[in-house]
Structure 1
Amino acid sequence: MTRRVLVARLDNVGDVLLAGPCVRAVAASAEVTMLAGPRGRAGAELLPGVADVIEWCAPWIDPEPPELTAEDVEALVKQVRDVAPDAALIVTSFHQSPLPLALVLRMAGVPWIGAICEDYPGSLLDLRHRVDGDPPEAERALSLAEAAGFRLPPGDDGRLAVRRPLPDVTALTGDPGYVVVHPAASVPARTVPAGRWAAHVRALAEAGHRVLVTGSPAERALTAEVAGDAATDLGGATDLPGLAAVLERAAVVVAPNTGPAHLAAAVDTPVVSLFAPVVPAARWAPYGVPVALLGDQSAPCRGTRARECPVPGHPCLESISPERVVAAVAELNHGATAPLPRVNQRGAAPLPRFTTGGQRARRTGGVS
């Protein structure tokens, strides 16, 4: 009889995509139900290995949290009981606690629960997994699955991936080989104003690139301003699978630290990452593809997790010139005559481009 495992990741699309290797490891020997928040559900539906999705907004994770009510908790308990999972893995970022959800899952009768957890879990967890070092988020999540006894199937390299086939977007994009600029981020500190993005777009167009600007329906005003007369505006033109298809046909994607940067990695497209160091690039840079990491990673805002930039003038990203963006795109597109210097996570000596490498997390325990 096939085991049924619930895998929870309750925040944004990018976070859910980074849990993809963990999900595939579980799905190699069990049926996976994904528990996702409303901001991440579309990502969960795009992950290979997910059989079905439960949506629930966690008040301790969502940035605009709803009121916690008994009725909402009871509704989630009922949904989980209906699925009747044999086990659950709770995937979180380092600053999130798995224990509130573990409590709810115990109320739903889940007999075995594993999570990465620093706090004393009492009887809430059967596997209290610890992670050493500062591994990329995808590896951190995968290590939880491995600690629980799940392994990626033979031939799976552990990179990000999306469900296939993707839709045909030729009518929107024309021939492949263009550059995508995705200017929006869910956190203001991780991006710059539209005028700055428009300057990057104009410079790319003047360098001979065909540029497409992408964004959600709510970001149409932003994408229109950024595209101007120099690029094709695709703001609001696709759902998430359609956006994945647009990104897959791109030569390079230029984006801040945002979900579509991880979506680009999931379709194997190189990323020029305008990365604000409010969170560490070691954990959150696009995973498993060539990445040109731009932005001052030693800026005073580093590690603050600030939603609004705490430094006047937003220098870590505003200091990135359009010429530097053009040079980074050229290098990733194999058109540069000299290598572009990269800054490592601590702002020290240049490093090679980020790939799938990184320190692996320590493994403990397993599913009995």
Structure 2
Amino acid sequence: MSGVLLAGPAVRAVATGADHVTMLCGPRGASAAALLPHVDEVLVWEAPWEGTRPPTVDEADVEDLLRSLRDAAYDVALVVTSFEQSPLPIALLLRMAHVPRIGAESSDHMGTLIDVQHRRLPGRHDAEAALDTAVALGFSPRTGDDGRLRVLPTPDTTGLTGNGPYVVLHPGTSAPDRDWDAGRAAEAVALLADAGHRVVVTGGPRESALTRRVSGDTAVDLGGRTDLRTLAGVLRTADVVVAGDTGPAHLAAATGTPVVSVGSPAVPAERRSPYGVPAVLLGDQQNPGADTGRPGLNEALPDDVVRAVQKLLKECT
């Protein structure tokens, strides 16, 4: 989901020079792709080189993907990857599908596979790098586009959250090895409530037990009660979002809400930092990826979370 949301500014730039925009992404990013402005169609394909349990090449049905791409007869393809990913596999498939012009970010030699190969500038966020690549391919943003993350209008979620200001805490993560300790998350909820904040805890259908434990008798528990669009609505009207994973953090940023990120310091800032909104990143940012002997999220102490929330509230008022 994170990569799809970070591609949003680049997608909007492509839409300025295209009659039809199709986004090809994996199953985990499909709902996010449907939330991006100017995406006309979402093509879902699970690649055999992505995810913690990728399918085999046969299971991925590469031939079926190639047929779909050939039938659509696309004119141009922009490959958007994060810093540590290679555009080579999908560029090869796009070339096999007879897409005549392909652009991607890469510092490696790609031969004839990529027509426009953009080299990332130092210090560029993934969202900025994707937009830079779109511009190199000939697609410039609309006049007045601020380049921030954005999603389509969200529904009114007052019926779920109740009236009045609130802080969202989203404790779950997509990778178990990056889980934020549930006990610490629950303590953070209690301390936020003691500090006078109303707290709403969010999570997916498989995280209901986690959100129930973290909410306790203090917070509003929305675990398993929101799809992605509804979750975006909940995040949009929050004062601050405390997120244990990059996906909810970037979704909050796409709604314009300040973020406290307790994501693993092993994730580079180019991916982890919520883009375009006030944010606090907890953890050892001076030594990302260091072997601390414990999961990175566990470094985010409840007191740190409360101080970070109060810091953002003070800055944004």
TM-score in terms of structure 2 length: 0.94
- Answer whether contact 1:176 1:249 (CA < 8 A) is retained: no
Structure 1: 4+ residue segments shifted above 4 A: none
- Answer whether contact 2:246 2:271 (CA < 8 A) is retained: no
Alpha-carbon shift at residue 323 of structure 1 (Å): 2.2
Cα offsets for 1:291-319 (capped at 9, x unmatched): 012112234xx237xxxxx53234x5434
Aligned equivalent of 2:11: 23
SS at match of 1:289: coil
List gaps (5 residues or longer) in structure 1.
Answer: 1-12, 305-309, 337-368
SS at match of 1:323: helix
Aligned equivalent of 1:139: 128
Alpha-carbon shift at residue 191 of structure 1 (Å): 3.4
2:310 counterpart (330, 337, 351): 330
Cα offsets for 1:141-180 (capped at 9, x unmatched): 111101001111011100000012x122111011252000
User: In the superposition, relative to structure 1, how do residues 318 and 156 fare at CA in structure 2: closer, same or farther (>3 Å)?
Assistant: same
1:157 counterpart (134, 140, 146): 146
2:117 counterpart (110, 128, 132): 128
1:268 counterpart (237, 256, 261): 256
Aligned equivalent of 2:91: 102
Q: Look up the equivalent residue of 1:144 and give its one-letter code.
A: T
Q: Distance in 2 between matches of 1:249 and 1:190?
A: 27
Q: Distance in 1 between matches of 2:163 and 2:133?
A: 41
Cα offsets for 1:164-220 (capped at 9, x unmatched): 2x1221110112520000001112343322111001011001111110000000111
Aligned equivalent of 2:169: 181
Alpha-carbon shift at residue 119 of structure 1 (Å): 2.4
List gaps (5 residues or longer) in structure 2.
Answer: none
Question: Pairwise mapping of residues 273-288 of structure 1 onto structure 2 (< 5 A)?
Answer: 273-288=261-276
Cα offsets for 1:258-296 (capped at 9, x unmatched): 201100000000011113220222443000000012112
Q: Distance in 2 between matches of 1:191 and 1:329?
A: 20
Q: Look up the equivalent residue of 2:52 and give its one-letter code.
A: P
Q: Distance in 1 between matches of 2:21 and 2:164?
A: 34
State the Cα RMSD in Å: 1.9
Question: Pairwise mapping of residues 77-88 of structure 1 onto structure 2 (< 5 A)?
Answer: 77-88=66-77
- Answer whether contact 1:255 1:273 (CA < 8 A) is retained: yes
Aligned equivalent of 2:205: 217
Q: Distance in 1 between matches of 2:172 and 2:69?
A: 34
- Answer whether contact 1:36 1:55 (CA < 8 A) is retained: yes
Q: Distance in 2 between matches of 1:128 and 1:136?
A: 18
**More helix per residue: 1 or 2?**
2
1:313 counterpart (294, 303, 309): 294
User: In the superposition, relative to structure 1, how do residues 70 and 118 fare at CA in structure 2: closer, same or farther (>3 Å)?
Assistant: farther
- Answer whether contact 1:257 1:285 (CA < 8 A) is retained: no
Aligned equivalent of 1:339: none
Q: Look up the equivalent residue of 2:289 and give its one-letter code.
A: G
User: In the superposition, relative to structure 1, how do residues 108 and 196 fare at CA in structure 2: closer, same or farther (>3 Å)?
Assistant: same
SS at match of 1:272: strand
- Answer whether contact 2:174 2:245 (CA < 8 A) is retained: no
- Asked if residue 67 in structure 1 is aligned to residue 56 in structure 2, the reply is yes
1:303 counterpart (273, 289, 300): 289
SS at match of 1:212: strand
